[in-house]
Amino acid sequence: MYEYLFTFRSLTQAQLAQSVLWQNGVAAEMQRSPKRLSKNGCAYALSISNAQLYEAIRIFRERKLQFKGLYRKIGAQELEEVQL
């Protein structure tokens, strides 16, 4: 089972997205984005399980919430960008 990271440009955007997901029953853990994904300074990410990925995407689209990128975690350190 994979885990996915939605990245955001700011802490405020990540907090809003996390709150909306939680209100809709989707568990999302906030964390700092890995350094290689945050080239322009500070960035945050929400970690989502594979089981809740499509529900999270649906909620983001429905609520018009923007995220910077989506990545699939492969192993402990490797990330793969996901194109929607």
Q: What are the residue boundaries of the structural domains of the chain, listed by start?
A: 3-81
Q: What pLDDT does 76 receive?
A: 74
Give residue-wise pLDDT tens across range 62-79: 999 999 999 999 877 788
The Cβ-side half-sphere exposure at 42, using a 13 Å CA radius, reads 5
pLDDT tens profile 5-16: 999 988 999 999
Structure confidence at residue 34 (pLDDT) = 76
Which CATH superfamily does the domain covering 3-81 fall into? Hypothetical protein rpa1041 (3.30.70.1530)
Candidates 44, 41, 18; CA nearest to 32 is: 44
